[in-house]
Structure formats: C-alpha cells, structure tokens
Structure 1
Amino acid sequence: MTGEPMNLNGKTAVIYGGAGSVGGAIAAAFTEAGASVHLAGRTEATLKARAAELGAEYAVVDALDEQAVDRHAAAFERIDISVNVTTDNDVQGTPMVEMSVEDYLSPVVSAVRSKFLTARAAARHMIRQRSGVILFFGGTGEPSAHRKWQLGGLLAAFDAVESMRRQLAAELGPHGVRVVTLQTGGIPESVPPEHRGPIEEDIVGDTLLGRAATLGDVGRTAVFAASDWGRTITGAQVNITCGSVFG
C-alpha cells in the first residue's frame, strides 16, 4: 500500500462534548493517532479528569453561547478538526402526542444552534488554511418500525443537522474543507447502565450483523474520516450502524 499512513500527526482537534462517552472515545482515538486534542464542554470536573487521562488540553465552553465559542476558537492559531458531540437537551420517554411543543423543539433548537456556532467558528480558521474537517455525530435514515423508543424531537434534530451538514459541505468544499457525519444506529455503551438492557436489545436486533458499534469503533472511524485516508469523503454520512440503516 502506498501513500500517507492513517494518522493525525500535527493536527489540532477541538472536541465539543469531549468529556462524554462518545466525545471521550473520539478524543482517545485522536490522541493515539497523534493529534493535539483540546476538549471543550460545560462541566470542568469531568473535562479536567478526561484531559488528565489523555494528556489533552481543556476549556470550559458552552457550545450554545456564541461569544464563548467564538472567543475559544479565536485563541487557536489553527483548527484542523472540529467535532461536536454535545448533548441536545432532548426530552425522551414521553409519547409525542403527550409532549409539550417546548419539549419537542428543545433538542432541535439546541442541536442547530450549537452545531452552527462550533462549525462556523472552525470554518473561519479552515477557510484561511484551505483545509480542515468538521465532524458531526448522529445522522439520519429510515427509522425502524420495530423500535418503540419515545425519542421526542431528537430525530428531527438529527435531520436538521444533516441539512446543515449538506449546506456546509457545499459552501466549504471549494476552500478544501470537508464536512462529514458519523451515522450511528445507537451505541449501547453510551447509555446509562440502568437503561441499557432493553435499549441494547433493540439496537442489536435492528442490525444486519447482530451486534452494535462500540465506542472504540466510533473513535477509529472518526480518525479515518478526519485523516487523509478519508480525504475523498465530504457532504456524506459514514455509516457505522452495523446495517440497521442501509440501502
């Protein structure tokens, strides 16, 4: 095999929500691949602990705060990779017909706002650099009729972010910037243990492979998507659903 190895040596990566399970997995994989990793989030205690584990930097940043996001990004000389895996203020466990409009719209508003702000801040660096990768996590696809989860507005939020991803990819592509979503069918390890059992059964039961993606799978796929090995991928979802979404 010829070409550059799949690594992130010399790359600066900012991960919003980096102290969470998915963000932490991506941060660990990026660190192992040689990137300079910077975690951002709202809770200093968890950020500090995860940063210490990885030898990463961290900053307390509310991804919904426009001034905070812009101020944090402006402190970097360059940003090569931006990942936003912040939670989206979703209200789950209530049938849609019993939800308030505020609860249904909450994840849509927070997802669109936070992803827009962090992507915009990174893109301003990346346009000047003529390179960069913006990663989202979630994606869309035809929902399974077998899933009985009451997810509220979460899927609508994913759809809205995917629309943003397509538009960003079109606008930023001429500047050498890629925009990619890691498309998930659910990561059981990211679910609190007390709720994991039935949810994991549903996730695995919908797959073609009879297993779900792990946090390690998420991290390794993120490295691929952000590295030069993934340089032909933009405006697209990288499917890590184990076949729960296909076609």
Structure 2
Amino acid sequence: MYLHNKTAIIYGASGAIGSAITRAFYKAGANIMMVARNQEKLRRVANTISAADGRIETAALDVLDQAAVVKHADSVAAKAGRIDISVNVTGTFHIQGVSFPDLSLEDFMFPVNTYIRSNFITAQAAAKHMIRQKSGVLLSISTPGSKLPGPGFMGYGLACSGIEALNRHFAGELGQYGIRSVCLRPDAMPEAGAHGSYSNEVFAKAAGGAGISIESMLEQHAQANTLLKRLPTLDEVANTAVFMASDLASAITGTVANLTCGSLVD
C-alpha cells in the first residue's frame, strides 16, 4: 500500500473531493485525521469508509482559526509521532457570475482572503512538524480559473492563482528539509454536486442565466472545451493525490498536476 502507516491530515474531508481523497488514502494504508467544520458530516463520511480499525479520526475545526489549527496539528503530531501529509481541499460558497463593473470589493476579496488564509495556516501548522522530521508532503487544490481570463470569476480566479503561487513558495521554502508541495488542478466534476460540494450553488447562477441545468452546462463545457470530451472524476483526483503523496512521486515538487481533461493545456 502506497501510504502504509503515513499520518495524514485532510482539511475539508467531509466535502466531495475531501471524502474521495480520504477514501483513497484509507485504501492506500494511511492513518487519517479528517477535519471540517461539521462533526456530524465528518462522522457520516468516516462511517462509510472505516472498518473501525482506528485508522480514521475526525475533528471539527475552523481552518481560518490559526490557533485552533496549530493546536490540532500539534495534538496529531504528539499522538502519532509525526505528520507525513497535509491536504487542504477546503471550499466555501462565493459569488461568481458578476462582471467586474458590478462586482463589490467584498465579494471580490472574500475568496481571496478565505482560500489564501486557510492554505497558509494549514500548511504552516504541518510544516513545523515536517521540518523536524525532515520529510513531508503538502497537497492543495486549484482550478483552471487560475489561468483563464473571462467574466464572472475574478475573485475566485485570483484565489486559485494565489494557491498555486503558495504551492511554489512552499516548495521553495521547504525543499531543503525534504518537504514536497504539489497542487492538484481539476476542472469541474459533475458528480461532485451529488456528494456535498458547494459547486452546485456556485454554478446555479450561470446555468440559470443560460436557461439550462447545471448538468447540461457542464456537458456542454466538456464537449466544447476539453480535449478528452469529458470532465474529471472524483476518483481520478483522489488517486492522483495518493500518487503525489507517496514515495513514488518523491522527485515531484513545486508543480501543478493538470487534471482538466485538456480544458487547459500547459
């Protein structure tokens, strides 16, 4: 198993992507601390994955609360002896579909402040322990919005660009300690909405404005804008996370894994 006996903290573990990564990490042998704001949602997800063998624990936590995140990471490291992997796939509802002339400063800055702050806080909390052990992997998540121009997603696009920039800086700052940093960049995943993703709320405005369903909008996007004529699956993203967190990817750092099915070509 690729992650046998590795200790991983997954922030946003109750969401669509987070639960898929948790499931894949569990199959790969990791010991996992699932973190999200809602304890009940965490328990429901954990109960669908764990065989009650003690390899999955849950903690309700606000990733924007630096003191709470640091205290939690310290407790995980004290109990397990180390933190091998820190994954931040947290997400929150934000405004999209409003053009720049009509976009309020508050709506523009909300995703920037939220995503950049949470990624900085969680990575730093884990990195302090990884530095001492001279190893570790930081994983984050972005979208094609980090590279694409277009109306309606300025704040979120900048947030994704910022996450990718943080990824490069994490790699540059921490590489001397044997710590790797990798960002995953999938396009929209149609199945995510059925697994608790906030993306349906975000996409609803654009789909409603076009007079079509979210499913139809994403299918049109897949056919018109991806090379593979489809969009990525949750399992594809989760399996890539396993690979990037494993020793199989030990030479990979400071990069973005392109999981867009060719909607964005590097």
The answer, yes or no, to whether TM exceeds 0.5 is yes
Which of 1, 5, 11 is the equivalent residue of 1:10? 5
Matches of 1:60 and 1:196, distance apart in 2: 32
The percentage of aligned residue pairs carrying the same residue is: 41
Which of 217, 221, 228 is the equivalent residue of 1:209? 228
Measured against aligned partners, the alpha-carbon deviations of 1:67-90 in whole angstroms (never above 9, x if no partner) come to 110111010221111111111442
Between structures 1 and 2, the one with greater helix share:
2
The aligned counterpart of 1:239 is 258
The aligned counterpart of 2:103 is 99
Q: How does 1:115-194 map to 2 (within 5 A)?
A: 115-139=119-143, 142-143=147-148, 150-191=152-193, 192=200
SS in 2 for 1:116: helix
Report how many residues are paired.
Answer: 239
SS in 1 for 2:72: helix
Q: How does 1:217-236 map to 2 (within 5 A)?
A: 217-236=236-255
Contact 2:21 2:241 in 1 (8 A): yes
- Normalising by the residue count of structure 1, what TM-score does the alignment of the two structures yield? 0.91
Contact 1:188 1:203 in 2 (8 A): no
Measured against aligned partners, the alpha-carbon deviations of 1:186-245 in whole angstroms (never above 9, x if no partner) come to 222223396333134214531111111100101100000000111111000011111111
Matches of 2:223 and 2:185, distance apart in 1: 15
Contact 1:79 1:125 in 2 (8 A): yes
Matches of 1:144 and 1:216, distance apart in 2: 28
Matches of 1:26 and 1:129, distance apart in 2: 24
**Structure 2 unaligned residues grouped into runs of 5+:** 51-55, 194-199, 205-212
Q: Could you tell me how far 1:94 is from its partner in structure 2?
A: 2.1
Which stretch has the larger CA shift, 66-75 or 201-210? 201-210
Measured against aligned partners, the alpha-carbon deviations of 1:55-111 in whole angstroms (never above 9, x if no partner) come to 221000100001110111010221111111111442123223211100111000011
Quick one: which amino acid aligns to residue 143 of structure 1?
A: L
SS in 2 for 1:153: helix
Contact 1:88 1:108 in 2 (8 A): no
Against the structure 1 CA distance between its residues 144 and 199, is the aligned structure 2 distance closer, same or farther, given a 3 Å change threshold? farther
Contact 1:80 1:133 in 2 (8 A): yes
The aligned counterpart of 1:3 is none
RMSD: 1.8
